Copies of this chain bind each other. A is one copy, B any other.
Amino acid sequence: MERVSDQPTPTLDLTADVVTLTEQLVDIESVSRGEQVIADAVEAALSAYDHLTLTRRGHTIVARTELGRPERVILAGHLDTVPVNDNLPSRNDGDYLHGLGTSDMKGGDAVILKLAATLPEPNRDVTYVLYEAEEIEAVHNGLNKLAQSDPELLEADFAILMESSRAEVEAGCQGTLRVEVRTTGERAHSARSWTGRNAIHAAGPILATLNAYEPRRPVIDGLEYREGLNAVGIRGGVAGNVLPDVCVVTVNYRFAPDRSEEEALAHLRELFAGYDVTVTDSSPGALPGLERPAAKEFLAAVGAEVSPKFGWTDVARFSALGIPAVNYGPGDAEYAHKKDEKVLISRIHRCEQALRAWLGGDA
């Protein structure tokens, strides 16, 4: 999106209290495809620090320490929000910070920026990534684009995506596969139904299969994932007096990260053998990768509960690059995309302190 005015770039104070910094970020409107101003502000603020090497691609900013440490970790957050819903500017009630983006995910962004500014010599090299367009189609996603344009900037041993997880650790994520299972028949006037074949009736066994399905609950790195196989749509029908010749059941399979996309699809093709199965959408899961040293030390440092991530997040992009990744951020997914979005202030502080300690700073 083109810059539409010559207003000065807002100033971010990266040394302020992380909640104050969150407020500053929230008060810069940054709906997806409108991240120019916030990206300019982030770039300007980070450029004041000589210990960081900056790269900008579109409205995605990468800041790296170059200390030659044996290990490198990524802290990442997206700068965009869903559309405004009469929930700006921010409001601080002492316990919660209210407003669009407080949970999803400017509280996490503030932690990233504060650490980037105030940790000149972390004990591991750190790559800080603030990216655009996470809330819309993947083709616009800044992390996705960066992985294609500058994959070397994303090389790391471990990644933390500061998506909403209530300051707990959500490891890995499940994959998602969406298929259309189609039945066919022959149209006929419903008054002479024996001259046709009803495609909706033919979908009965598909629903029976879904009803009888027992989802797997595999344990991976000590975490139990719960799969799910669900019809999320069904459609069929020509007219009130016609036997329909087509019925389409849209099925969404959420699969644990011990299965690849190919294995997930093979499973569905086996379940729905004999039916026309068409893939409409597929994204891989991400293994938790909690056995890596960087991950183990992270878990020890933050001392937080670890649970599996069921929804799909950008941690899967890191996983696709071979980088173990977790969700760990102050926000609460329950409030994301809601008009009454808010974040518990104590969780922003907790995340900052835990990560600072892990990276060798004063807790």
Contact = CB atoms under 8 A, between A and B. Distances in A.
Given A203-B207, A208-B204, A232 B190 contact: yes
Nearest to A194: B226
Interface string A336-351: 0000000000000000
Contact of A311 (B189, B237, B312): B189
Interface string A262-287: 00000000000000000011000000
Given A191-B312, A211-B204, A311-B191, A178 B240 contact: yes
A247 to B, nearest CB: 7
Interface size class of A (residues with CB under 8 A): 35 or more
A234 B207 CA distance: 13
A235 B232 CA distance: 11
Contact of A191 (B210, B239, B249, B254): B254
A207 B200 contact: yes
A210 B241 CA distance: 16
A232 B228 contact: no
Contact of A208 (B208, B231, B234, B250): B208
Interface in A157-192: 174, 176, 178, 189-192
A198 interface: yes
Contact of A250 (B176, B240, B280): B240
A318 to B, nearest CB: 18
Contacts of A247: 234
A310 interface: yes
A252 interface: yes
Contact of A240 (B215, B236, B252): B252
Interface string A122-146: 0000000000000000000000000
A170 to B, nearest CB: 12
A135 to B, nearest CB: 14
Nearest to A196: B230
Contact of A232 (B234, B244, B252): B244
A48 interface: no
A200 to B, nearest CB: 4
Contacts of A233: 200, 236-237, 240, 244
Contacts of A207: 200-201, 203-204, 207
A239 to B, nearest CB: 7
A207 B208 CA distance: 9
A63 interface: no
A230 B190 contact: yes
Interface of A: 174, 176, 178, 189-194, 198, 200-201, 203-204, 207-208, 210-211, 215, 226, 228-244, 247, 249-250, 252, 254, 280-281, 310-312
8 contacts: A190-B230, A190-B232, A191-B254, A194-B226, A232-B238, A232-B239, A233-B237, A235-B237
